[in-house]
Structure 1
Amino acid sequence: MTIIETVKMNGLAPQAYLADILTRIHDHKINRLDELLPWNWAPTTETLSETA
């Protein structure tokens, strides 16, 4: 629940955020994991088109 609440507090849709993160994390560089935190996350164009 903590990650869901953090995502909501950052004004993001939890389902879109989690789907994107789970898709991207496997090949994301370990020294850039901070980019995937809710307060730094930027959706990909694919994620944007799925939520529209």
Structure 2
Amino acid sequence: TLIETAKLNGLDTEAYLRDVLTRIADHPARRLGELLPWNWAPLTDLAQAA
């Protein structure tokens, strides 16, 4: 499941789900892979990298 995959990737599952659910509506469909647990980075991490 998505939750188990997030756990296997060492993510805080609650933070992951909260972030993905708030971003998914505005996220481009062709870039949904970025929101998968093994690719995901919190929005704050992405802002610091820019």
For the aligned pair, the TM-score class normalised by the smaller chain equals 0.7 to 0.9
Deviation digits for residues 9-35 of structure 1 (CA, Å, limit 9, x no counterpart): 000000000000000000000000000
Q: Unpaired runs of 5+ in structure 1? A: 47-52
Between the aligned partners of 1:4 and 1:28, the Cα distance in structure 2 is: 20
Partner of 2:42: 43
Note the C-alpha offset of 1:3.
1.2
Between the aligned partners of 1:29 and 1:4, the Cα distance in structure 2 is: 22
% identity of equivalent residues: 67
Q: Unpaired runs of 5+ in structure 2? A: 46-50
Which consecutive segments of 4 or more residues in structure 1 shift more than 4 A?
none
Q: TM-score, normalised by structure 2?
A: 0.85
Q: TM-score, normalised by structure 1?
A: 0.82
In the TM superposition, what are the counterparts of 1:4-43 in structure 2 within 5 Å? Answer: 4-43=3-42
Note the C-alpha offset of 1:39.
0.2
Point out the structure with the larger helix share.
1
